Amino acid sequence: MYQKPSELVFERISNERPVTTSDCGNESINQYLRTTALYDFYAKHRSTSVVYRGTDMVGFFTLSRDTIKIVNRQVMIVHYLAVSDTVQKLGIGREIVEKIIYLAHVTNERYIFLEALKDDDLRLISWYQDRGFFVVDRSYLENPSMVTVWMCLDLFDEESLNRLFDNP
């Protein structure tokens, strides 16, 4: 069942509200949340937001800004995006991506980059593509040892820019 966005609450990670253990099905991502996310937040390395539905933690995402050579500019980078495996396929991941896109618009970012985990059937890559991301380097198709695939979402709105100049 799909949850309305108003039922999801996004909070920055803090030691005021302990992070409950959430299992997204990937132990390295679970481990990051349990052991490193809070430190990264307070050290200003990365910013993690935790997603709640009611009192249950249902996911989290971690962002930072860095320069990416391929576009030669500062971009938003999604380091982690996870949804608890007990609530996957309910639209929560989509809501998290929409929140990230909203934050990128608010901070006037043009690009959002992320590394998608490469699963056997490329399901996650396809999931991100359905949300507008494109694969930056297609060499993952020939390289079975690659675990992740760099993807990008370009938020440039040429139509709005053209309207700006068309209507003085």
Tell me the DSSP string of 62-122.
EEEEEEETTTTEEEEEEEEEEE-GGGTTSSHHHHHHHHHHHHHHHTT-SEEEEEEE--TT-
Give pTM, 2 decimals: 0.88
Give residue-wise pLDDT tens across range 31-40: 999 999 999 9
- Quick: pLDDT tens for 66-101: 998 888 899 999 999 999 999 999 999 999 999 999
Domains of the chain as residue ranges with CATH: 5-166 (3.40.630.30)
What is the greatest pairwise CA distance in the chain? 55
Q: Looking at residue 17, what is its pLDDT? A: 81
Q: How confident is the model at residue 2 (pLDDT cuts 50, 70, 90)?
A: very low
